[in-house]
Chain A
Amino acid sequence: MARYDRTLIGLALAFALLMAANFLMPEWVRFIGLQTLARGAVALGLLVLWRTGLISFGHALYFGWGAYTAALLTRAGITDAFVLTVAATLSAGLLALLLGFLLRRYRAIFFALLNMAFSMILYGALVKTEALGSTDGFGVASPSYFGFAPEGEAVTTTLFAFSLTLTFVVVVGVHLYLRSTLGGLTLAIRENEIRVEYLGYSAERAIHIKYVISGLLAGFGGAVMAMAIGQVDPDSMALWTVSGEFVFITVLSGTGSVAATYVGALVFELIRTYAFEYAPHVWQLILGGSLLAIIMFLPEGLWSLRQRLARAKG
């Protein structure tokens, strides 16, 4: 299938390009890049979930869980980036597996809000726990890579290269999954769940699997963010407004491609950064306004711009 090849080639070329650019770009651009990788991953998980028609308003739960897992490991002396990321991803996935048994029975707004309730319970627990720094959180030690511990500007360069590589692997994996039968099933569930059941598939099981995937991705994003920022705290990681940002990025990006959420995350961060810099008193107005405009005028998300331009050209 020609389309199948194109996306994989596209992803591979983008990976190579960004890897090369990593060594040329100024530090502040790289930092935005890291945040894009972190948030894009969470939004990708939400995209997978959205294909079943479900959106969670509480994915900061897994994001924060992953971030704090990575942070706690560095506090215990483990700083290897690979270990941190894998541990955070798996532990978030495990949490998603457990909660998924309950949550897979819910639909629509109740699914969204029950997720939010759980995320607020985690938030409350973190705030109450003085040993974890409560709302101040605590610092994350600089990661090392199989024994090599970078310093100075190499810290972010190495972290970006590392995160980009893992992101590439993850994104390709998700893309292949969505292409598979089980992946195609999700769209059917969104349309009419009862008919899917009559076809012999378990909709709840499929939803559960998607939910775990979204949890894994969110945990991965949390680990990257924790290592990039160097600090974890409940307000930045587990609060409902953080979940809201992720949903925003997902809807903003559109579902056209697995790369879409990364573009969306980048645009979101750029809008916020420039609004903050040039309009410090009304940055929320600008951020909310741009997002509202995109919702109203680009219903398929940012990715649809590409298709519109392609159509316009020929």
Chain B
Amino acid sequence: MTRSSFAAQLLVAGALALAGTGPAAAKEQVVLAVPTFLTGAGAPAFGVPARNGVEVVVQAINDGTLPAPYDSKGFAGVPVQLEVYDESGGNTKQVTEFRNKVQKQNVDLFVGFTSSGTCQAVTPVAEELKALTIFAVCGTQRVFEELDTDPKYVFRTMSHATSDQVAAALYVKAKFPGVKGYTGLNQNYAWGQDSWRDFDLAMQVIAPEAKASEKLQWPKIFAGQYGAEVSALLLSEEELVHTSFWGGDLEAFIFQASPRGLFEKKKVLFTVAGTAVYRLGKKMPQGVVLGSRGPYGIFAAEKDDPLNKWFRQAYVDRFGTNPTGPSYQYAQGVLAAKFGYDKAAAANGGQFPSTEQVIAAMEGQKIPSFTTTVNLALNKGHQAITDHAYGVVKWDAEAGEPKMVDVVSFAAECVNPPDGVNSVDWIKGGMKGAKC
């Protein structure tokens, strides 16, 4: 190398070092980073509704127009600066981004994350960098059960995905007691594998007379073509089909299975079709069972809590469509953050609280949300348990939109393990301690 390129290297290193040191942040605004899928397959089902939900709520928080108990302006009086960013690109990219946001852009807290893999990747980093992180959607129970058993900076403001499957099994027991066999059509990756495992285990406890199929379908995620799977399901003996499909795969499956009569011949249980039900509208097959990971989206359509009614109205006014599950779930995370900041400031004589004070104010609390309570009851007060619901979808011609009928709601304590017990162990042990 020549000497001039050494000089260049020195200059570059120096410039980078200087660029890294930013001005100390005076508390003029709380910078809230919201990672969600802005591009790629996760965008229509999760990312865009989530972003919309957060925008509605943050705008109202800054204006002070939310109903009680969130009617004060800002977080502890300080306006919120919203920084939505893309959750796609893979875990390596996301961990790098997380570090950049904390160390370079001086973000105050994170609310978001949909992908279980990314949540797991980011958890140790959040603890290491001491960055308040509220997981809004991601489902894996491993976050607090294996990865971070003594959490400080990481919270999750809704039940993890085990409750989806336990509630599904309970619904099957309640509404289809005679079911003799069930099979699965799940995407062959962590989400699909975990969903099936939890459902199968729960069914063995709740409905032991029903037998699981030997030939479960495991198409590749984003495969898009399910002709063979539909044929295999039509030929199978089991009357119940469990599927955790979401997004484009879910919609493609419905388009390909409907003309072939699958939904008339089999009882299909969609654990997360709540994300697609408004978009599909009339094309959603009638009579299928679906969930929305809790009382969100279409399950909240009739609930008249003032917070919920305000949220739905504001969302429809601004975006022209109904809010779906992810809209609620992300917005719920923001509400929890506001709760924490406000409460910590009140305990602090009105002064803007430190992150540690906010954490202390949040741990173990029961935080009111749109249609449920975020009850931070598990894992040292960092993992919430929330209510659940499943129902059957029916097209309401008069209203011109789909509605849920035959809804069964489940209390949070019924479908979540008690504190101190791991989810899989809890199900295998017969779900002791469940209060239904």
A128 in contact (CB, < 8 A): yes
Within 8 A of A (CB), among B137-151: 140, 142, 147
- Could you tell me if B13 and A17 are in contact, using CB atoms closer than 8 angstroms? yes
- Could you tell me if A306 and B39 are in contact, using CB atoms closer than 8 angstroms? no
- Could you tell me if A26 and B21 are in contact, using CB atoms closer than 8 angstroms? yes
CB-CB nearest in chain B for A22: B13
Inter-chain CA distance A130–B424, complex, in Å, is 14
In the complex, which residues of chain A have a beta carbon less than 8 angstroms from the beta carbon of B96? 31-32, 35, 269, 273
B190 in contact (CB, < 8 A): yes
In the complex, which residues of chain B have a beta carbon less than 8 angstroms from the beta carbon of A29? 16-17, 20
- Could you tell me if B116 and A136 are in contact, using CB atoms closer than 8 angstroms? yes
Inter-chain CA distance A231–B124, complex, in Å, is 9
CB-CB nearest in chain B for A152: B128
CB-CB nearest in chain A for B129: A27
Contact A136/B17 with A31-B99, A236-B90, A273-B96 known, Cβ cut-off 8 Å: no
In the complex, which residues of chain A have a beta carbon less than 8 angstroms from the beta carbon of B85? 276, 280
- Could you tell me if A137 and B121 are in contact, using CB atoms closer than 8 angstroms? yes
- Could you tell me if A276 and B16 are in contact, using CB atoms closer than 8 angstroms? no
- Could you tell me if B13 and A25 are in contact, using CB atoms closer than 8 angstroms? yes
In the complex, which residues of chain B have a beta carbon less than 8 angstroms from the beta carbon of A32? 96
Name which of B4-12, B208-216, B250-258 contacts chain A.
Answer: B4-12
A149 in contact (CB, < 8 A): no
B413 in contact (CB, < 8 A): no
Give, as a whole number of angstroms, the nearest-CB distance from B186 to chain A.
12
In the complex, which residues of chain B have a beta carbon less than 8 angstroms from the beta carbon of A229? 91-92, 95, 121
In the complex, which residues of chain A have a beta carbon less than 8 angstroms from the beta carbon of B90? 233, 235-236, 239
B260 in contact (CB, < 8 A): no
- Could you tell me if A136 and B142 are in contact, using CB atoms closer than 8 angstroms? yes
Interface residues on A, range: 35 or more
B401 in contact (CB, < 8 A): no
In the complex, which residues of chain B have a beta carbon less than 8 angstroms from the beta carbon of A27? 20, 99, 103
Inter-chain CA distance A26–B92, complex, in Å, is 19
Within 8 A of B (CB), among A29-67: 29, 31-32, 35
Count of CB-CB pairs between chains A and B under 8 Å: 131
CB-CB nearest in chain A for B92: A236
- Could you tell me if B128 and A280 are in contact, using CB atoms closer than 8 angstroms? no
In the complex, which residues of chain B have a beta carbon less than 8 angstroms from the beta carbon of A138? 120
A9 in contact (CB, < 8 A): yes
B286 in contact (CB, < 8 A): no
In the complex, which residues of chain A have a beta carbon less than 8 angstroms from the beta carbon of B321? none
In the complex, which residues of chain B have a beta carbon less than 8 angstroms from the beta carbon of A280? 38, 84-86
Contact A236/B91 with A17-B13, A230-B125 known, Cβ cut-off 8 Å: yes
Give, as a whole number of angstroms, the nearest-CB distance from A298 to chain B.
17
In the complex, which residues of chain B have a beta carbon less than 8 angstroms from the beta carbon of A306? 5
Inter-chain CA distance A272–B93, complex, in Å, is 9
CB-CB nearest in chain B for A9: B1
- Could you tell me if A128 and B188 are in contact, using CB atoms closer than 8 angstroms? yes
Q: Mark A234-277, 1 if CB is under 8 A from B, else 0.
A: 01110100000000000000000001000000000100110011
B229 in contact (CB, < 8 A): no
- Could you tell me if A17 and B17 are in contact, using CB atoms closer than 8 angstroms? no
CB-CB nearest in chain A for B91: A236
Inter-chain CA distance A128–B193, complex, in Å, is 9
- Could you tell me if B189 and A135 are in contact, using CB atoms closer than 8 angstroms? yes
In the complex, which residues of chain A have a beta carbon less than 8 angstroms from the beta carbon of B97? 273, 276
Contact A137/B117 with A31-B99, A155-B128, A276-B86 known, Cβ cut-off 8 Å: yes
Inter-chain CA distance A133–B85, complex, in Å, is 26
Which of A17, A21, A128 sits near B6, CB closer than 8 Å?
A: A17
Contact A283/B86 with A28-B20, A136-B117, A231-B120 known, Cβ cut-off 8 Å: yes
- Could you tell me if A273 and B92 are in contact, using CB atoms closer than 8 angstroms? no
* Residue among B1, B6, B84, B125 having the largest count of chain A Cβ atoms under 10 Å: B1
In the complex, which residues of chain A have a beta carbon less than 8 angstroms from the beta carbon of B21? 26
- Could you tell me if B193 and A24 are in contact, using CB atoms closer than 8 angstroms? no
In the complex, which residues of chain B have a beta carbon less than 8 angstroms from the beta carbon of A236? 90-93
Q: A233-B91, A277-B105 are in contact. List 15 more A-B contacts (CB 8 A).
A: A13-B6, A14-B9, A25-B20, A26-B16, A26-B20, A27-B20, A27-B99, A28-B20, A137-B117, A137-B120, A139-B120, A230-B95, A235-B90, A236-B90, A237-B92
Q: List 12 A-B contacts (CB under 8 A).
A: A28-B99, A133-B120, A135-B117, A135-B189, A136-B120, A137-B91, A230-B121, A231-B121, A273-B97, A273-B100, A276-B89, A310-B2
